[in-house]
Amino acid sequence: MHETVHLEIFADKMSRINGSFTQRATIAAAPLLATKHRKEAVAFTDPFLRMRATVLIRKSIRHAEDMRTLKDIVNRPDLEYGTLDRGIIVRAFRNTNDSLLRKTWRSINKFKPSALTSTNEEGIARVRTQNYAFILPDTIAEYITYQSCDLLTVDKFLLDEGYALALPIQSPWIPHLNKGLDLLRRNGVLDSLYHKWWIQNSKCQNTEYPHRMPRVSQDAIRISVTIWLYMGTTFASCFL
């Protein structure tokens, strides 16, 4: 296969992605979740990084050591909890049929003043200053807990989405890229990239709580582009 590949790098979350990039690029690398809505406009490779929802709490909250699941948090009458007022988590809460998650969403909407925030930064600040827990993507929360040792994450739930490379629909490159990603995964390259970019930079190496994921806006794009560069060296084997 002899074809010029045009790689376009997007530094934002591409919340309004459509097929327009396919007019100038063969592949888009970005902190881009392969959601159902986006799949109507573009095609995606297999994910190189997964994302779920988690709860961010302050370690100094009384009985924090007893809060290991979302149910533990929902059953705490002295604790309020919320999330961003828009985006993938709110949409998932509105559409879930899980009884615990529906109860969580009803409670969020009953808290006064509102437990919903206009930014993630606002939610994180409320965790630090109020008796409040903030629900957000683990790709953001767990990066924060690597850098801010006074916070920790609780549970994973609601979502199971993946970050992936985007291509034009019916692109012939997709199976080859998937083969390359699988090779990088089996050879430990993806784990090595994660360790290089995030664990080595952690300020909380000795914490007893495991943390796994990067900051979405900068580090997810870093891994997507780095994966693409690595795949350039393995592409020959993908066509064998």
What digits encode the pLDDT tens for the residues 41-80? 899 999 988 899 999 999 988 778 889 999 999 999 999 9
Between CA 30 and CA 15 the distance in angstroms is 11
In the chain, list all ranges with CATH 3.40.190.10: 50-161
pLDDT for residue 122 is more than 60: yes
pTM of the model: 0.78
Q: What is the DSSP string of the chain?
A: ------EEE--S--TT--GGGGGT-SEEESS-B--TTGGGT-EE-S-SEEEEEEEEEETTSTTGGG--SHHHHHT-TT-EEEEBSSSHHHHHHHH---HHHHHHHHHHHH-SS-S-BSSHHHHHHHHHHSSEEEEEEHHHHHHHHHH-TTEEEEEEEEEEEEE--EE-TT-TTHHHHHHHHHHHHHTTHHHHHHIIIIITT-S-TT-SS------IIIIIHHHHHHHHHHHHHHHHHHT-
pLDDT for residue 225 is more than 60: no
Strands 151-163 and 43-44: unpaired
- Residue 183, token pair as written in the block: 């090779």
Among 132-136, 172-176, 185-189, 228-232, the range scoring the smallest mean pLDDT is: 228-232
Split at pLDDT 50, 70, 90, the class of 23 is low
Between CA 165 and CA 23 the distance in angstroms is 16
pLDDT for residue 6 is more than 70: no
What's CA 163's distance to the chain center, in Å? 7
**How far is the CA of 215 from the CAs of 27, 102, 148, 238, in angstroms?**
22, 28, 13, 30
| Overall average pLDDT of the 223-237 stretch | 51
Architecture of domain 50-161: 3-Layer(aba) Sandwich (3.40)
CATH of domain 7-48+164-238: 3.40.190
pLDDT at 223: 58
